[in-house]
């Protein structure tokens, strides 16, 4: 526990020492949304991910592997800074790093999980207004061409197109029994903008009907220059489905906040 907290302190000190001046000029932005979500988790060789985030940001390793999370959302309702921007499809890819692991209450939740801390590897949206605001908050964005999510059930799966013939598709091979509980989750997500500045996006979500974790497979095809850390191929994954989930986030915070 002491070692983990020391790593967190070191991370905050290093990030803040170079980014506070840049962040002071960038006001935070706010989003809230209601979405159906598939969260696809995989464990990969940590070396390229450690190179991406930098040596000052320690990854969490599980049996020597980095935990990578692909979050795919199809959102019926989406607000940016209080503006209704209409239906939106989002995709984010994160790698788990050391964080505070504290418990922050989520209103309406029957139980709340400890906070997880991530570094953003990729973020994209189908909605130009969403991309505009997120880029203004310091998170680089890519156009998402389309998302298709199966409803919870024995044949769960989905597909996301990132453009330039790049597709991610997944299917559950060993489905778990769905449950209906209101679970709160908190994510601290660090991101690096085009100038190399690091910002913190603080996400709080309330999950309802869930199915998972379920064993499955992920297939990646195409020229993956938009996300070169995950090569084309087939991977074993764990899939969680939330139907629906509600979330809100504060974007573009200084890491010291």
Nearest to 69 by CA among 247, 248, 244, 213: 213
- Residue length of the chain: 257
- On whether the CB atoms of residues 152 and 241 are closer than 8 A, the answer is yes
Which residues lie below 8 Å from residue 91, measured CB to CB, with a gap of 6+?
70, 71, 72, 73, 122, 123, 124, 125, 144, 147, 160, 162
pTM: 0.88
| Extents of the domains making up the chain | 2-253
Name residue 74's beta-bridge partners. Answer: 36, 89
Q: What is the residue-level pLDDT of the chain in tens, covering all 257 positions? A: 333 333 333 333 333 333 333 444 678 999 999 999 999 999 999 999 999 999 999 999 999 999 999 999 999 999 999 999 999 999 999 999 999 999 999 999 999 999 999 999 999 999 999 999 999 999 999 999 999 999 776 778 999 998 767 899 999 988 877 788 899 999 999 998 878 889 999 999 999 878 878 999 999 998 888 788 999 999 999 999 998 999 999 999 988 64
* Token digits of residue 207: 């999950």
* Token digits of residue 232: 């084309």
* CATH topology (fold) of 2-253: Acetoacetate decarboxylase-like (2.40.400)
């Amino acid at each position: 526990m002491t070692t983990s907290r020391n790593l967190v302190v070191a991370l905050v000190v290093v990030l803040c020492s170079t980014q506070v001046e840049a962040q002071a000029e960038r006001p935070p932005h706010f989003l809230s949304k209601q979405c159906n979500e598939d969260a696809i988790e995989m464990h990969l060789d940590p070396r390229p991910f450690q190179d991406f985030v930098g040596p000052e940001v320690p990854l969490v390793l599980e049996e020597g592997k980095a935990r990578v999370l692909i979050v795919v959302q199809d959102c019926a309702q989406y607000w940016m800074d209080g503006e209704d921007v209409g239906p939106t499809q989002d995709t984010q890819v994160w790698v788990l790093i050391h964080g505070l692991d504290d418990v922050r209450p989520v209103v309406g939740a029957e139980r709340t999980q400890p906070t997880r801390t991530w570094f953003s590897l990729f973020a994209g949206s189908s909605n130009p207004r969403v991309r505009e605001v997120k880029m203004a908050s310091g998170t680089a964005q890519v156009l998402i061409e389309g998302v298709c999510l199966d409803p919870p059930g024995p044949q769960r799966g989905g597909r996301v197109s990132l453009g330039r013939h790049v597709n991610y598709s997944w299917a559950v091979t060993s489905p778990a029994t769905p449950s209906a509980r209101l679970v709160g989750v908190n994510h601290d997500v660090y991101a690096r903008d085009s100038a190399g500045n690091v910002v913190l996006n603080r996400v709080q979500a309330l999950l309802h009907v869930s199915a998972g974790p379920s064993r499955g497979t992920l297939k990646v095809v195409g020229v993956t220059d938009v996300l070169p850390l995950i090569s084309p191929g087939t991977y074993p994954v764990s899939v969680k489905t939330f139907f629906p989930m509600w979330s809100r986030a504060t974007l573009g915070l200084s890491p010291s906040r």
